[in-house]
């Protein structure tokens, strides 16, 4: 850890921690039972006391980060689990379990307490079928509106036919296409799902007043390819690991860590230290590829420039990909992690690999200098991005924003430091934050994070070079068939390129998970788009979208 900020560390350790019993007392009569999840104590509460419980936890116990909402169906009940954390110390966790009966699955919405619950609960309604009382806008989010049934519920028949509409959007200039009646001067504009500026298949319905955005509604689900179902159909040991690569497909390797971390906690698997160093190095290289892409596509959005900056970004991404290809054998879908380690050691001859990586790291400062000349020092870009898309830190927390989006708003939150895993806490690096809260700060955070990643990779290379020959174990002993104990539940998160990527697994004693839930950082980050863009100009909305750096594969899963 860096020596530069000793006061902050002290502050963090000073975050008040309450014992599980104290929290139980605080919640009083609303608690009807206790469970023990591997990561946190869980309180079973009455379905009509969700708001009261969560606001008590938020205001009195300091749990201000609703990380994830998991919904699932048991034989005899439905269950929503609210995973709460603290922004100041994410190791303090608590889960709130809300059971509802099968006949009438209705529980109270958490949306009035945490804004982020809005989309999470819509997803729970969409995929599992729990309804939330007092929710402002409970409709399907990932699947089309006309979908029949809830695919992750127990009695869903996958073979039943479905009808999906393609609503014809009439000419927006026609009289009847004005949003808000005949008298208004607003116009509805559909951006996406096929649009160069939406970074994939995102559909943004905007209502414009002149050139300003009066209302905005991101419509997602155009890449909902059933990742959770796929993981529930796979066995722990080998069949799940290829999928995380495809969640956030710009920076793949940290995603593998999310699954590995959750499953290793669930099955109590140790990872050799040597493998942890390899994992750390791979993940940071991968994070760099993600940030290079974010940078180059952001420039693409703001300048509309498909040549210079984009090519520079791709050039450096290509270099990092080459190193990772040497390490893993794949350009993008590395599939490098295994439970209990990694799949293979450094490529031989090692010196060549070290040299290649060092060359890359040596060239990096100059490349970043070029980026600063081209992008961040450019007046046009500054005019476009400084003080546009402002996201105050309180709002960011309210929406559960994490990663560069939160750090660009001055929220000092990075799981690599605050909830350490791998080899991060042994290395010397800093968490980057910027206080601007605007599009420019988010861009700067990413650019500076590339430098930090390079620092980490450099240290890993040194460590790997010196590592004693007889201690190079890359995998611990893991049983061929993993069967974690029945009814154990775990929620574990890692910091991927976009923020806090969490995985919830419930085991049922078989070799496949009974419920696999992915907490995607982009999903939460994208929710802040209306906050950032309402009242701004359309091009600023596009810049905000670029600075959020959403990857639709991860938003929709």
Partner 1 sequence: MSSDNRPFITDDSKVLTDTRDARMAGQGDRFNSKLREAFGSSPFILTKFDKFMNWVRGSSMFMLQFGIACCSIEMMHTYSVKHDLDRFHAGVPRASPRQADVIIVPGTIVSKFAPRMKRVYDQMPEPKFVVGMGSCTISGGPFQEGYNVVKGAEEVIPVDIHVPGCPPRPEALVYGVAKLQERIANGESSPVTVKPYELEQFSDLDRDEVVQKLADQIDEDDLVMRYNWSDSP
Closest CA to 118 of 102, 134, 97: 134
Closest CB 46 distance from partner 1, rounded Å: 33
Query: Could you tell me how many residues make up the chain?
Result: 557
The piece of 171-179, 228-236, 403-411, 542-550 that touches partner 1 (CB under 8 A) is: 228-236
Candidate residues 3, 76, 166, 349; the one interacting with partner 1 per rule CB under 8 A: 166
Candidate residues 75, 161, 183, 480; the one interacting with partner 1 per rule CB under 8 A: 161
Candidate residues 82, 125, 243, 371; the one interacting with partner 1 per rule CB under 8 A: 243
How do 131-133 and 106-108 pair as beta strands?
parallel
Query: CA 258 to CA 239: how far, in whole Å?
Result: 15
Count of alpha carbons within 13 Å of 228, Cβ hemisphere only? 28
Candidate residues 34, 225, 350, 372; the one interacting with partner 1 per rule CB under 8 A: 225
Query: CA 290 to CA 445: how far, in whole Å?
Result: 13
Query: CA 284 to CA 455: how far, in whole Å?
Result: 9
The reply to whether 331 sits near partner 1 by the rule CB under 8 A is: yes
Candidate residues 106, 179, 187, 230; the one interacting with partner 1 per rule CB under 8 A: 230
Q: Which residue stretches of 243-347 are H helix? A: 253-267, 273-303, 308-328
Closest CB 470 distance from partner 1, rounded Å: 37
Candidate residues 10, 76, 104, 160; the one interacting with partner 1 per rule CB under 8 A: 160
The piece of 117-125, 310-318, 424-432, 522-530 that touches partner 1 (CB under 8 A) is: 310-318
The piece of 57-65, 159-167, 442-450, 476-484 that touches partner 1 (CB under 8 A) is: 159-167
Distance spanning both ends of the chain, measured CA to CA: 34
What residues from 262 to 291 belong to the interface with partner 1 (CB under 8 A)? none
Candidate residues 4, 29, 139, 163; the one interacting with partner 1 per rule CB under 8 A: 163
The reply to whether 167 sits near partner 1 by the rule CB under 8 A is: yes
Query: CA 68 to CA 500: how far, in whole Å?
Result: 10
Candidate residues 115, 199, 448, 498; the one interacting with partner 1 per rule CB under 8 A: 199
Candidate residues 47, 62, 90, 151; the one interacting with partner 1 per rule CB under 8 A: 151
Closest CB 549 distance from partner 1, rounded Å: 13
Candidate residues 14, 15, 32, 311; the one interacting with partner 1 per rule CB under 8 A: 311
Tokens of 442: 């988010």
Closest CA to 518 of 211, 246, 186: 246
Closest CB 394 distance from partner 1, rounded Å: 34
Residue with tokens 């270099």: 319
The piece of 94-102, 172-180, 226-234, 398-406 that touches partner 1 (CB under 8 A) is: 226-234
The reply to whether 399 sits near partner 1 by the rule CB under 8 A is: no
Query: CA 92 to CA 453: how far, in whole Å?
Result: 26
The reply to whether 158 sits near partner 1 by the rule CB under 8 A is: yes
The reply to whether 162 sits near partner 1 by the rule CB under 8 A is: yes
Residue with tokens 């949306």: 111
Query: CA 348 to CA 151: how far, in whole Å?
Result: 47
Closest CB 166 distance from partner 1, rounded Å: 4
Tokens of 29: 């009569």
Residue with tokens 């500076």: 448
Q: Could you tell me how many residues of this chain bind partner 1 (CB under 8 A)?
A: 54
Candidate residues 34, 102, 315, 372; the one interacting with partner 1 per rule CB under 8 A: 315
Residue with tokens 């670029």: 546
Count of alpha carbons within 13 Å of 436, Cβ hemisphere only? 18
Closest CB 496 distance from partner 1, rounded Å: 15
Candidate residues 7, 75, 103, 159; the one interacting with partner 1 per rule CB under 8 A: 159
Tell me how crowded residue 428 is: count the other CB atoms within 10 A of its CB. Answer: 10
| SS3 track for 345-360 | CCCCCHHHHHHHHHHH
Closest CB 127 distance from partner 1, rounded Å: 10
Distances (CA, A) of 456 to 17, 315, 380, 428, 461: 31, 21, 33, 7, 9
Candidate residues 24, 242, 410, 530; the one interacting with partner 1 per rule CB under 8 A: 242
Q: In the complex, which residues of this chain contact partner 1 (CB under 8 A)?
A: 143-148, 151, 156, 158-168, 193-196, 199-201, 221-227, 229-230, 233, 242-243, 246, 249-250, 293, 306, 310-311, 314-315, 317-318, 331-333, 552-553
């Amino acid at each position: 850890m860096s020596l530069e900020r000793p006061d902050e560390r002290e502050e963090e350790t000073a975050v008040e921690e309450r014992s599980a019993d104290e929290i139980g007392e605080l919640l009083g009569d609303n608690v009807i039972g206790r469970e023990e999840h591997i990561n946190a104590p869980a309180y079973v509460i009455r379905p009509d006391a969700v708001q009261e419980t969560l606001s008590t936890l938020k205001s009195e116990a300091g749990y201000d980060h609703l990380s994830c909402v998991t919904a699932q169906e048991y034989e005899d009940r439905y269950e929503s689990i609210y995973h709460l954390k603290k922004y100041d110390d994410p190791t303090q966790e608590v889960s709130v379990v809300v059971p509802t009966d099968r006949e009438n699955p209705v529980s109270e919405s958490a949306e009035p307490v945490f804004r982020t619950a809005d989309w999470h609960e819509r997803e729970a309604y969409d995929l599992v079928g729990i309804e939330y009382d007092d929710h402002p806008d409970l409709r399907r989010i990932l699947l089309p509106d006309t979908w029949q049934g809830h695919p992750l519920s127990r009695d869903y028949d996958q073979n039943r036919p479905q009808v999906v509409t393609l609503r014809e959007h009439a000419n927006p200039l026609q009289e009847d296409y004005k949003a808000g009646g005949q008298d208004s001067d607003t116009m509805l504009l559909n951006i996406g799902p096929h649009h160069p500026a939406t970074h994939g298949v995102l559909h943004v319905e905007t209502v414009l007043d002149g050139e300003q955005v009066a209302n905005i509604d991101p419509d997602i689900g155009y890449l909902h390819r059933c990742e959770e179902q796929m993981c529930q159909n796979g066995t722990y040991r080998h069949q799940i690991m290829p999928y995380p690569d495809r969640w956030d497909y710009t920076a793949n390797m940290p995603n593998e860590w999310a699954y590995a971390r959750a499953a290793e906690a669930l099955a109590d698997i140790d990872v050799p230290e040597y493998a942890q160093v390899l994992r750390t190095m791979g993940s940071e290289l991968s994070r760099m590829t993600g940030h290079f892409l974010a940078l180059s596509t952001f420039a693409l959005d703001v300048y509309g420039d498909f040549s210079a900056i984009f090519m520079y970004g791709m050039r450096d991404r290509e270099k990092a990909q080459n190193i990772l290809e040497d390490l893993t054998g794949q350009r993008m879908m590395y599939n490098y992690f295994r439970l209990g380690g990694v799949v293979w050691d450094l490529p031989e001859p090692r010196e060549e690999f070290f040299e290649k990586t060092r060359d890359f790291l040596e060239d990096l400062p100059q490349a970043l200098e070029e980026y600063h000349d081209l992008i961040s020092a450019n007046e046009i870009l500054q005019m476009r991005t400084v003080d546009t898309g402002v996201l105050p830190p309180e709002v960011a927390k309210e929406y559960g924003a994490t990663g560069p989006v939160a750090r660009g708003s001055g929220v000092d939150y990075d799981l690599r430091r605050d909830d350490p895993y791998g080899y991060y806490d042994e290395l010397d690096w800093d968490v980057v934050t910027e206080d601007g809260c605007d599009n420019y700060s988010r861009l700067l955070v990413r650019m500076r994070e590339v430098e930090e990643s390079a620092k980490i990779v450099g240290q890993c290379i040194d460590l790997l070079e010196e590592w004693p020959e007889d201690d190079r174990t890359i995998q611990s002993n893991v049983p061929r068939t993993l069967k974690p104990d029945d009814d154990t539940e775990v929620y574990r998160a890692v910091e991927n390129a976009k923020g806090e990527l969490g995985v919830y697994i419930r085991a049922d004693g078989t070799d496949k998970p009974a419920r696999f839930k992915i907490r995607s950082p982009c999903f939460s980050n994208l929710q802040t788009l209306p906050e950032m863009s309402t009242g701004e100009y359309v091009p600023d909305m596009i810049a905000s979208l670029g600075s959020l750096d959403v990857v639709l594969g991860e938003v929709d899963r």
